[in-house]
C-alpha cells in the first residue's frame, strides 16, 4: 500500500531482471521545477473534476467556463472586480504565509479577519472630526493592532504554556464570532434595522476608490504594499531569517540562539495583523457596515492561497487573483448557465487536495537503475 | 407548582445535554482512536458535515432513515480513507491534509446541496421527519433518570455504549495495545513485523465512519433538515474534547456532556424566554477549551508520536 522508498527498492530487488529499469527514488530536497509543475498538474486535475461537477449540474461545460472567463476578465470593469474579490484573499494568503513559513499553524485568519473588521468599525464610528486620510490611517493601524492581539494570544499561549496554536486559533475564531454576533444583536445593532448589522459608517472613514468606475478600493493597493513588505520581512530581515529557521528545524533554531518563544509570538501577532487588514479592507472599502456575511471564509481560503502560492508573496498574489477571478467569474456563470456559485468553494478544496498529492511527486525522482552484476 | 416547573426544567436541561453531546461524542471517540494510532486528523468537522449532508440527502430521496445513517457512515469512511491515504501513504503534513479535507467537504456539500435542491431559500428548506425518541422499557419509567437517560434517540444510546466499548478495545485487546503502541512508538510495532500503515488506515477510516455517523445525527435525529455548515464547529469541539479529556474515553464522555450542558442551558433559557446574551454562553465551551489546554500543561498524556508520519527508513 505504501510507496515508501524502501518498498520500491525491495520490489526491484525481488524481480531478478537484468534489463535497465526506471524507478522512483527520494531526492534530496525538492526539485524547483516540480514545485512549479505540480501546481499546474494540480490545477489541471482540479479543472477536470470541476468540469465533472459542472456537467453534473446539467450545464454545458464549455459554455459555463466561457461564462466564467467573461465574468472574470471579460471587460476592464470585470477585471477590476476580480481584483476587488482577490483583495481579502491576498491579505489572508499573506497572513498564512508568514505563519506557515515558521511552521506555526495559524488556522485563525478568519477570526483575525473579524478582529480587524471590528476594530475598523469601531474607529470609523468613534473617531470623528479628523481629516479623512488620518481617520483611514488610524483605521488601518487599529485593525492591524487588533489582529496582532487576537493572533498574539495564540502565540503567547503556545510560547508560554505549550498550548497547540491549531486548537487555540480555531477556538478564537468561534469566540470572536459569538462575541460579534452578540454585539450585532445588542450594543452595535443598527437601531433603524431589525437585521443583525451595524449602522453604516461615516463617509470620511471609507477607503477611497482607485478607479473612476467600479469598486476597486485602497485595500487592493494596501495588499500589494503588504505583499512587498512580507517579502522584505521574510528574506531581508533577521526576524524573517529566524521565522524561516524555526520553520525548517525548531530544535536547530533553538541551538542557534533564536528565541523560539518570542519568535512564535511575533509570527502569530504579525500573521494576525495581516489577516485583520483583510477585515478592515472589506469593511472600510466595500461594505461600510458590519454584518456576519462580509466574510465568506476568507481566512480559510487564505490557507489554500498560501499553499498554492508556495508560501511566497508573489505566488500568493497570483493565487489570490486566480481565486478572485473564480469567485467573480462564478457569478457570471450562475446567471448564464445556472451552475451554482458554490462551485468555487468546491474547486478550492479540490485544488488543495490535488496540490498536496502532486507535491509528493516533487519529493521523488525518476532514475535509471543499472543492473549491478 | 413552582417546584414542578423547576423539576421539568432541570430534566429537560439534562436530557438536552445528553442529546447534544451524542454527535460530538461520536466525533471525539473516533478521533481518540485515530490519535491513539498516532495520526492527527483535523478533518472531523468536514467529515461530520459530509455525513450530515449525505445522510440527509439519502433519507430525503429514499424516505428511509437508516439508509441515511448507513450512507453517512460510508461517506465518512471514504473521507477517512482519503485522509489515511494523504497522511499514511503520501505522508503529506497531517495538519494540512486535515484542513484540505475540511475545505473540500465544506465546498462540496454546499455545491451539491444547491444542485440537489434548486430554488431553495430559508423559507422552504427541504425537511425530513427525524428519528423518534425510543423509550427503553422499565428503565425509561424511572422518575427523572428515565427521562434524562432512557428516552433518547437510538443513536444516542449507540454513542453512550461506544464509550465502554472503545475503552475495552483500546485497553483490553491485543489490537488496542498495538494501536496505542503505534501512537507512542511505531517502530516497535514495525519491528515485530506488524504493519503500521494497515493499522493506521483502519483507525483513520474508523474515525471517519464515526464522524460521519455523528454528522448524520445532526440532520436525521436533531434538525430534520440540512443547511450549509450545519456542523457548526462541533467537529472542532470534538477535537478539543479529546485533548480536554486527556485521551481517555471516560473523560471524553465528561467533556462531551459538559459541552452539551452549556448548549442545552442556553437553549432552555431561550425557550423559557429569559433575556440574556446567549451568544456569550455559546462561546463558553471554546473559552474553556483554551483554559483546559493551558491548565493541562505538563499533565498531557497525548500519544508521543502524534502527528508524525512514520517512515520505515528515515528519509535521506
Q: Has residue B313 been placed in a domain? A: no
Q: Give the total number of structural domains in chain A.
A: 1
Give the pLDDT confidence score for residue B41 in this predicted structure.
94
Contact residues, chain A, for B290 at CB < 8 Å: 157, 163, 167-168, 171-172
| CB within 8 Å: B312 and A6 | yes
Q: Has residue B316 been placed in a domain? A: no
Of B89, B111, B287, the CB nearest to A3: B89
Domain that holds residue B146: 13-115+134-295
The set of cell numbers assigned to A355 is 496540490
The set of cell numbers assigned to A307 is 499553499
- Kindly report the nearest CA distance between residue A298 and chain B, in angstroms: 12
Q: Has residue A154 been placed in a domain? A: yes
Q: Which of A342, A354, A363 to mutate to test the interface with B (most CBs of B within 10 A)?
A: A342
Q: Give the total number of structural domains in chain B.
A: 1
Give the pLDDT confidence score for residue A370 in this predicted structure.
65
| CB within 8 Å: A345 and B107 | yes
How far apart, in whole angstroms, are the C-alpha atoms of residue A346 and residue A304? Answer: 12
Q: Which residue of chain A has the CA closest to B243?
A: A167
Of A105, A161, A340, the CB nearest to B297: A161
Of A161, A170, A344, the CB nearest to B294: A161
Contact residues, chain B, for A337 at CB < 8 Å: none
Q: Has residue A330 been placed in a domain? A: no
| CB within 8 Å: A340 and B197 | no
**Dihedral of CA A176/A181/A184/A185: which sign?**
negative
- Kindly report the nearest CA distance between residue B154 and chain A, in angstroms: 30
| CB within 8 Å: B313 and A6 | yes
Buried-exposed string B71-80: b where 16+ CB fall within 10 A, e elsewhere: bbbbbbbbbb
| CB within 8 Å: B100 and A174 | no
**Model-level pTM?**
0.88
Structural contact between residues A64 and A331, judged by C-beta atoms closer than 8 angstroms: no
Contact residues, chain B, for A93 at CB < 8 Å: none
DSSP-based three-state secondary structure for B22: helix
Q: Which of B107, B236, B255, B297 to mutate to test the interface with A (most CBs of A within 10 A)?
A: B107
Cell numbers 506557515: residue = A100
**Dihedral of CA A286/A288/A294/A300: which sign?**
positive
Give the pLDDT confidence score for residue B300 in this predicted structure.
67
Structural contact between residues A336 and A43, judged by C-beta atoms closer than 8 angstroms: no
Give the pLDDT confidence score for residue B3 in this predicted structure.
57
CA angle, A130 as apex, A182 and A84 as ends, to 5°?
Answer: 60
Q: Has residue A47 been placed in a domain? A: no
Q: What is the CATH number of the domain that holds B223?
A: 1.10.3470
A87 by Cβ neighbours in 10 Å (0-12 / 13-18 / 19+) ranks as buried
| CB within 8 Å: A1 and B290 | no
Q: Has residue A2 been placed in a domain? A: no
Tens digit of each residue's pLDDT, chain A (373 residues):
344 444 444 444 444 455 667 776 777 666 777 778 888 888 899 989 999 999 988 888 899 999 999 999 999 999 999 999 999 999 999 999 999 999 999 999 999 999 999 999 999 999 888 899 999 999 999 999 999 999 999 999 999 998 889 989 999 999 999 999 999 988 888 888 888 888 888 888 899 999 888 899 999 999 999 999 999 999 999 999 999 999 998 889 888 889 999 999 999 999 999 999 999 999 999 999 999 989 988 999 999 999 999 999 999 999 999 999 999 999 888 888 888 888 888 888 899 899 888 888 777 766 777 665 4
Cell numbers 449507540: residue = B158
Using alpha carbons, list the distances in angstroms from residue B199 to A240, B144, B190, B213, B243.
40, 43, 11, 21, 22
- Kindly report the nearest CA distance between residue A23 and chain B, in angstroms: 16
| CB within 8 Å: A346 and B290 | no
CA angle, B94 as apex, B91 and B97 as ends, to 5°?
Answer: 95
| CB within 8 Å: A167 and B110 | no
Domain that holds residue A266: 81-310
Q: Which of B102, B104, B120, B297 to mutate to test the interface with A (most CBs of A within 10 A)?
A: B104
Nearest to B180 by CA among B18, B17, B32: B32
Give the pLDDT confidence score for residue B44 in this predicted structure.
96
Provide the residue count of chain B. 316
Contact residues, chain A, for B99 at CB < 8 Å: 107, 300, 303, 352
Q: Has residue A66 been placed in a domain? A: no
Alpha carbon B284 to its chain's center = 19
| CB within 8 Å: B297 and A162 | yes
CA angle, A113 as apex, A109 and A114 as ends, to 5°?
Answer: 125
Structural contact between residues A88 and A284, judged by C-beta atoms closer than 8 angstroms: no
Q: Has residue A23 been placed in a domain? A: no
- Kindly report the nearest CA distance between residue A227 and chain B, in angstroms: 23
The set of cell numbers assigned to A363 is 519529493
Longest dimension (CA), chain B: 76
| CB within 8 Å: A356 and B100 | yes
Of B197, B287, B294, the CB nearest to A175: B287
How far apart, in whole angstroms, are the C-alpha atoms of residue B245 and residue A326? Answer: 42
Low-confidence ranges of chain B (pLDDT < 70): 1-5, 298-300, 314-316
Q: Has residue B120 been placed in a domain? A: no
Nearest to B88 by CA among B139, B41, B124: B41
Amino acid at each position: 500500500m505504501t510507496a515508501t522508498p524502501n518498498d520500491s527498492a525491495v520490489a526491484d530487488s525481488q524481480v531478478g531482471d537484468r534489463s535497465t529499469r526506471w524507478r522512483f527514488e527520494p531526492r534530496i530536497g525538492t526539485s524547483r521545477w516540480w514545485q512549479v509543475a505540480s501546481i499546474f498538474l494540480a490545477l489541471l486535475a482540479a479543472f477536470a473534476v470541476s468540469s465533472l461537477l459542472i456537467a453534473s449540474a446539467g450545464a454545458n461545460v464549455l459554455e459555463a467556463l466561457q461564462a466564467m472567463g467573461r465574468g472574470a476578465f471579460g471587460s476592464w470593469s470585470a477585471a477590476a472586480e476580480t481584483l476587488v474579490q482577490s483583495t481579502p484573499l491576498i491579505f489572508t494568503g499573506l497572513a498564512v504565509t508568514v505563519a506557515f513559513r515558521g511552521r506555526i499553524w495559524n488556522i485563525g485568519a478568519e477570526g483575525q479577519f473579524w478582529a480587524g473588521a471590528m476594530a475598523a468599525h469601531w474607529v470609523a464610528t468613534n473617531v470623528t472630526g479628523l481629516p479623512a486620510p488620518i481617520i483611514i490611517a488610524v483605521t488601518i493601524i487599529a485593525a492591524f493592532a487588533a489582529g496582532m492581539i487576537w493572533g498574539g494570544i495564540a502565540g503567547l499561549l503556545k510560547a508560554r504554556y505549550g498550548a497547540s496554536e491549531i486548537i487555540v486559533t480555531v477556538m478564537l475564531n468561534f469566540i470572536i464570532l459569538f462575541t460579534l454576533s452578540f454585539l450585532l444583536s445588542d450594543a452595535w445593532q443598527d437601531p433603524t434595522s431589525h437585521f443583525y448589522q451595524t449602522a453604516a459608517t461615516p463617509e470620511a472613514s471609507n477607503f477611497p476608490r482607485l478607479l473612476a468606475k467600479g469598486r476597486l478600493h485602497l485595500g487592493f493597493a494596501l495588499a500589494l504594499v503588504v505583499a512587498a513588505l512580507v517579502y522584505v520581512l521574510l528574506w531581508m530581515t533577521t526576524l524573517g531569517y529566524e521565522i524561516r529557521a524555526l520553520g525548517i528545524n525548531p530544535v536547530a533554531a533553538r541551538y542557534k540562539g533564536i528565541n523560539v518563544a518570542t519568535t512564535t509570538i511575533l509570527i502569530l501577532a504579525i500573521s494576525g495583523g495581516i489577516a485583520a487588514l483583510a477585515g478592515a479592507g472589506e469593511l472600510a472599502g466595500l461594505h461600510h457596515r458590519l454584518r456576519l456575511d462580509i466574510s465568506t471564509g476568507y481566512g480559510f481560503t487564505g490557507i489554500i492561497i498560501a499553499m498554492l502560492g508556495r508560501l511566497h508573496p508573489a505566488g500568493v498574489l497570483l493565487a489570490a487573483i486566480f481565486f478572485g477571478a473564480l469567485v467573480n467569474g462564478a457569478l457570471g456563470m450562475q446567471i448564464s448557465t445556472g451552475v451554482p456559485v458554490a462551485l468555487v468553494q468546491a474547486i478550492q478544496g479540490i485544488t488543495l487536495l490535488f496540490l498536496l498529492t502532486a507535491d509528493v511527486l516533487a519529493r521523488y525522482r525518476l532514475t535509471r537503475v543499472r543492473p549491478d552484476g | 407548582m413552582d417546584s414542578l416547573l423547576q423539576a421539568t426544567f432541570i430534566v429537560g436541561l439534562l436530557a438536552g445535554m445528553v442529546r447534544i453531546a451524542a454527535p460530538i461524542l461520536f466525533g471525539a471517540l473516533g478521533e481518540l482512536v485515530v490519535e491513539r494510532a498516532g495520526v492527527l486528523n483535523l478533518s472531523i468537522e468536514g467529515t461530520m458535515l459530509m455525513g450530515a449532508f449525505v445522510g440527509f440527502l439519502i433519507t430525503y430521496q429514499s424516505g428511509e432513515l437508516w439508509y441515511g445513517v448507513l450512507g453517512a457512515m460510508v461517506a465518512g469512511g471514504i473521507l477517512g480513507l482519503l485522509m489515511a491515504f494523504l497522511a499514511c501513504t503520501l505522508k503529506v503534513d497531517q495538519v494540512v491534509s486535515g484542513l484540505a479535507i475540511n475545505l473540500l467537504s465544506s465546498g462540496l456539500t454546499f455545491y451539491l446541496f444547491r444542485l440537489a435542491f434548486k430554488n431553495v431559500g430559508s423559507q422552504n428548506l427541504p425537511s425530513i421527519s427525524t428519528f423518534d425518541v425510543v423509550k427503553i422499557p422499565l428503565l425509561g419509567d424511572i422518575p427523572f433518570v428515565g427521562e434524562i437517560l432512557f428516552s433518547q434517540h437510538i443513536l444516542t444510546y449507540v454513542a453512550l455504549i461506544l464509550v465502554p466499548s472503545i475503552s475495552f478495545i483500546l485497553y483490553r485487546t491485543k489490537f488496542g495495545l498495538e494501536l496505542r503502541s503505534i501512537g507512542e512508538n511505531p517502530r516497535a510495532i514495525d519491528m515485530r513485523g506488524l504493519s503500521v500503515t494497515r493499522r493506521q488506515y483502519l483507525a483513520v477510516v474508523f474515525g471517519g465512519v464515526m464522524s460521519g455517523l455523528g454528522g448524520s445525527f445532526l440532520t436525521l435525529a436533531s434538525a430534520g433538515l440540512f443547511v450549509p455548515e450545519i456542523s457548526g464547529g462541533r467537529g472542532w469541539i470534538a477535537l478539543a474534547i479529546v485533548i480536554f479529556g486527556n485521551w481517555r474515553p471516560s473523560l471524553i464522555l465528561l467533556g462531551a456532556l459538559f459541552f452539551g450542558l452549556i448548549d442545552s442551558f442556553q437553549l432552555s433559557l431561550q425557550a423559557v424566554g429569559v433575556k440574556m446574551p446567549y451568544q456569550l454562553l455559546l462561546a463558553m465551551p471554546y473559552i474553556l477549551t483554551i483554559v483546559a489546554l493551558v491548565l493541562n500543561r505538563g499533565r498531557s498524556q497525548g500519544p508521543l508520536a502524534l502527528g508524525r508520519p512514520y517512515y520505515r527508513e528515515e528519509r535521506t
